[in-house]
Amino acid sequence: MTTEPQYPSEGTRRHRPSPLVAVAARELLAAGVTSARVEAELLAAYVLGVPRGRLAIADGFTDEQLDRYRALVDRRARREPLQHLTGDAAFRHLELAVGPGVFVPRPETELLAGWGIEQARRAARPRPLVVDLCSGSGAIALSVAQEVPDARVVAVERSSAALAWLRRNAADRAAAGDRPIEVVEADVTDPDLLAGLVGQVDVLLCNPPYVPQAVAVPPEVAGHDPAEAVFGGADGLAAIRPVIDRAATLLRPGGQLGVEHDDTHGAAVPELLAEDGRYVEISAHQDLAGRARFATASRRADHPAAGPAGTWQTDSS
């Protein structure tokens, strides 16, 4: 972190956070971090071991803490993800362990998780079966398990690195008292995926890799999120196509599917669902910024063969 005149001199006294956070925020903003002030405060709160809301009344930095804060701000200015620096990511009511090798869950995915939670609560049977494909850190699966405690939740992930984080988070949440989830190592493109659950799943959720290969992504993504969790082939739909196909086999009649997608796929994914022929009640959902974010559908009850099907509608989430 660049030394500025505002930094207090080294000594035994504590250093007030406010001027240090202001300097850090300016440095992060110059580095292209859009939420610079918030992240400077979060890093300061992390080093001081206090909630961000209590930063103004916290004891100042010791010399050692100040050195640590400066080092963290330096790393964030080089666009290392904030969540890698603090070691966790907030998602709905959870704090999840994240780091190299696993995709950092995004706030917009909370909308898909929330939709899935509502569908699970409305399921016709007392212990609904919910499957989370491309689970990554387990954000969606663990949110469902926490908020729908009667649900049986199965999380599927193929990456060995991501699986380590998923299993760690699953163990942490089980130790905290949430219903344990089942973790399955598998590829969502496997035509026999979860063969033992065919026709039994009440809700199937998926946040797959969906960014088209040629799209430029922020430095935090390009340099730190695993590419296999980000890019979905040339058109971004390479994982979504097999997910739609396999979900139709796994879902029970009337079961619900929710798939997150790129904001350029607002028409493409609902069209894929309609073309499959085994889905009805197809809807496109937007995020809070008004961007196309995920699509949902219900498994038809009459088990038709794949083929042309009905229309779809757009909803706001």
Q: Where is the binding site for substrate, in residues? A: 207-210
How would DSSP label each residue in 48-92? HTS-GGGGGGSPPBPHHHHHHHHHHHHHHHTT--HHHHHSEEEET
Q: Check if the beta carbon of residue 288 is closer than 8 Å to that of residue 238.
A: no
Annotated binding-site positions: 157, 207-210
Question: DSSP letter at 3?
Answer: -
Question: DSSP letter at 11?
Answer: S
Tell me the CA distances in angstroms from 189 to 41, 130, 184, 241, one per residue in order: 42, 19, 14, 9
The one-letter code for the residue type at 215 is V
- Expressed in percent and rounded to 5, the helix, strand and coil fractions of the chain are 40, 20, 40
Annotated binding-site positions for S-adenosyl-L-methionine: 157, 207
Tell me the CA distances in angstroms from 77 to 18, 28, 66, 181, 220, one per residue in order: 19, 5, 16, 37, 11
Minimal CA–CA distance to 250: which of 309, 310, 210, 190? 190
Question: DSSP letter at 137?
Answer: T
What distance, in Å, lies between the first and last C-alpha atoms of the chain? 40
List Cβ neighbours of 272 (8 Å cut-off, separation of 6 or more): 237, 240, 241, 244
Minimal CA–CA distance to 200: which of 137, 118, 286, 127? 127
Question: How many Cβ atoms from other residues are within 10 Å of residue 309's Cβ?
Answer: 18
Per the structure block, which two tokens stand in for 273? 């669902």
